[in-house]
Every structure is written in structure tokens, then in C-alpha cells.
Amino acid sequence: MSCFQHLIIILFSSLFLHFSQADVGTASHYGPPFLPTECFGEGASQFPSTNMFGSAGEGIWNNGAACGRVYEVRCISAAVPRTCIPGQAVQIKIVDRAQSSVSRPSTDDTSMVLSITAFQVIANVSSPLINIEFQQV
């Protein structure tokens, strides 16, 4: 095998490794009331004081195993141009299940739903739906 072929293989492997770390999906947002939650009941002490939290869509809910997990989330695109705030990422803790949250998401059936506080770090909150890249921390 030539040097060039080796190089191509290395390049493709690193691309694959990079993309396999993060998932692509969608996010919406939700506001108060946040209690009770399917993860912690009335337990508000489980909420990060920064208000950087969210609820899990069915794809990551995993029968409740998602509760307490932290995801790093980036906005990659949206229907309206310039919705994403470039270069921003937010880390959110899963505190609820989107399907049963007291306060309803701005859009149903997304990969996850971010608190307004978390959503506005990465996107214009007037958008009900964004495309995201996310990765468990």
C-alpha cells in the first residue's frame, strides 16, 4: 500500500471517529412550570442552579436512564437563517421526559427540549425548532 493510500485511510478514520462521537437531532424549548418531573418528582433540588437543563425525547429517554445525564448541545441550523448563535455550546442536565413534562415543548417529538435559559445560549428563542448536534458529557 502506498503512503497516499495510508493517508486516505487515516483521514477517513479520523472523520468517522469525529462524527461518531456526536449525534445529530432536533431541539425545542420549554418554560415553567417545571415540576413535578418524571425523573425527580417534586425534587427541585435536582435542578442545576444555572437553569441549564432539559427534558429527554423518546430517542434518548431510555426508560429513565437519561435522568441526570449531561449533554453538550450545539445549534447547527434552523428553518430561519441566522437562528443559531455561531460558536456557542451549552451543557444541560436531563431532568424530565419531554413526552410527559408539565409545560409543553415549543415543538413535539424532538430529540430533547431545552429550558428557555439553555436554548437562548445557542439560538434565537423565537424559533420553536432547531437542528442540533449533541453528545453526552
Ligand X SMILES: *[C@@H]1O[C@H](CO)[C@@H](O)[C@H](O)[C@H]1NC(C)=O
DSSP assignment of 91-108: EEEEEEEGGG-SSPPSSS
Grid cell for residue 120: 437562548
Q: Name the percent of the chain in helix, strand, coil, to the closest 5.
A: 30, 30, 40
Interface with ligand X in residues 96-115 (CB under 6 A): none
Of 7 and 79, nearer to ligand X (C-beta) is 79
Map residues 46-65 to x or -, x wherever contact with ligand X holds by CB under 6 A.
Answer: --------------------
Cα–Cα dist 94/70, whole Å: 6
| By CB under 6 A, residue 80 contacts ligand X | yes
Residues in contact with ligand X, counted by CB under 6 A, come to a total of 3
| By CB under 6 A, residue 124 contacts ligand X | yes
Residues lying near ligand X in the complex (CB under 6 A) are found at 80, 124, 126
